[in-house]
Amino acid sequence: MITPVILCGGSGTRLWPLSRQSYPKQFVPLVGDETLFQASAKRLSGASNGVSFTAPTILTGSDFRFIVTEQLAAIGVDPGAILIEPEGRNTAPAILAAALHLCASDPEAIMLVAPSDHVVPDTQAFHAAIEKGLAAVAQGKLVTFGIAPTHAETAYGYLELATQPDGSGAAIDLKQFVEKPDAARAETMVAANTFMWNAGIFLFKAKDIIAAFHAYAPALAAPVNAAVEAAQIDLGFLRLDPTAWAQADDISIDYAVMERADNLAVVPFDGGWSDLGGWDAVWRETGPDANGVATSGDATAIDCENTLLRSESEHLEIVGIGLKNIMAIAMNDAVLVVDMSRAQDVKKAVSALKSKGSLQATTFPKDHRPWGWFESLVVGGRFQVKRIHVHPGAALSLQSHVHRSEHWIVVEGTARVTVDDDIRLVTENESIYIPLGAKHRMQNPGKVPMVLIEVQTGSYVGEDDIIRYEDLYARGQGAKG
């Protein structure tokens, strides 16, 4: 049995404005109806081609813990452990933490480490490649997966193989890692047939990768081990100790271990793969038509060539006329228009917006919470209007505000509302007033989503004006807890 270890960190800035720090690309449906995270979890479950998986181990941040469980439940996948990283420290500490956690119960545990935001259309072929890698793992090898390049890509690192693939799919010794090349170097490497894209997917025994960390990155061993040993159970999550975790270096697994180890092997894979590292990759995966045009959502293209048009907001129509080599993505709070050749520069937009203090740089329009989500419709100097969506059976925390009062108008379903000592049902087209300072809570007692419009008025309407008294989700104080 193989334990998938799915890494759910990262902000995906090159896919702004759809991917943002508060809701990164792995949790949105970029290609197809499922999110990238859901597709990854389904791909790494079940059994086929001699490969069988246990429940996945997930590593994510605190803000995403309920999104992870909600999205897994929606596809019928039960997770094993969900490890909460106190802060992002790159892939090396995360992978070591997962290995230590698994090794504690099974030193012979085999781990398949994969990012949560990749596209692999042919699951059967991928499982067959994993099966090939198991033979090398049995010999104590650390296995990585090399993607057969389809073009001279400059946005990926490469793996140089000791020999050319023979077509059998068997693991080949790794000669060296190669950093992202310039265009001329990429052309030369692709022509050589001994270079493959570095997918960042790994297969090894937990004990073998732990030994590699001790050999090549010993400074990581102590803080990560301490973070795992002092981890605390929080509902169904395992929170790594923040004090110890903060002492771990911020470093990738490639730099910490893989580029130094002498027992690496590469399994060639040509079954189709993309890390969706830019909007140009999304354009390719979406399947452009004969004119190179791909559209999504409420989008219309007229006399366009090599163009991507996406509307990511309901009832927001985007129209392109006479465009060539252009990608345009529209949301209700931001629009990106970029030349296709500059896809990798989208992250510069995020940096520019951060420097001017724009919320759009990091904050997704819909704020997802364990009970559902909300979005701001209008914000003024002393008021804010929100749409709030509450899942069936869910409830917001019992809370109060120091600076604002609220009016709630139910527009779908029924709300069970608490205001101090008063508890009542509020149905569609009914409203209720929440005075400043009152302890209040809304619950959805029904079996369908409940939607209400909230009108806030007061001197401050920020999300951090919340005092929580009771919470089903064991959150602390602060905007999200």
pLDDT per position as a tens digit, 180-235: 888 889 999 888 889 999 999 999 999 999 999 999 999 999 999 999 999 999 88
Report the predicted TM-score, pTM, of the whole model to 2 decimal places: 0.89
Q: How many CB atoms lie within 10 A of CB 150?
A: 13
pLDDT for the residue numbered 463: 86
Q: Does 2-269 match 366-470 in CATH topology?
A: no
pLDDT for the residue numbered 480: 67
Can you tell me the distance from the alpha carbon of 403 to that of 384, in angstroms, rounded to the nearest whole number?
13
pLDDT for the residue numbered 202: 97
Can you tell me the distance from the alpha carbon of 65 to that of 306, in angstroms, rounded to the nearest whole number?
38
Can you tell me the distance from the alpha carbon of 103 to that of 442, in angstroms, rounded to the nearest whole number?
43
Choose among 116, 197, 191: nearest CA to 154: 197
Can you tell me the distance from the alpha carbon of 90 to that of 298, in angstroms, rounded to the nearest whole number?
36
pLDDT for the residue numbered 167: 83
Question: Collapsing DSSP states into helix, strand and coil, what is residue 164?
Answer: coil
CATH topology of domain 2-269: Spore Coat Polysaccharide Biosynthesis Protein SpsA; Chain A (3.90.550)
Element (H, E) at 190: helix 183-192
Can you tell me the distance from the alpha carbon of 129 to that of 49, in angstroms, rounded to the nearest whole number?
9
- Give the start-to-end residue ranges of the domains of the chain: 2-269, 279-350, 366-470
pLDDT for the residue numbered 481: 53
CB within 8 Å of 3: residues ≥ 6 apart: 53, 54, 55, 56, 57, 80, 102, 109, 110, 111, 112
Strand ranges (E), 148-253: 158-161, 172-178, 195-205, 232-234, 237-239
> Do 3 and 109 meet the contact criterion of CB atoms below 8 Å apart?
yes
Can you tell me the distance from the alpha carbon of 143 to that of 253, in angstroms, rounded to the nearest whole number?
13
Residues of the chain under the 50 pLDDT cut:
none
> Do 57 and 1 meet the contact criterion of CB atoms below 8 Å apart?
no
pLDDT for the residue numbered 479: 65
Can you tell me the distance from the alpha carbon of 112 to that of 45, in angstroms, rounded to the nearest whole number?
11
> Do 186 and 170 meet the contact criterion of CB atoms below 8 Å apart?
no
Q: What does CATH list as the number for 366-470?
A: 2.60.120.10
pLDDT for the residue numbered 50: 81
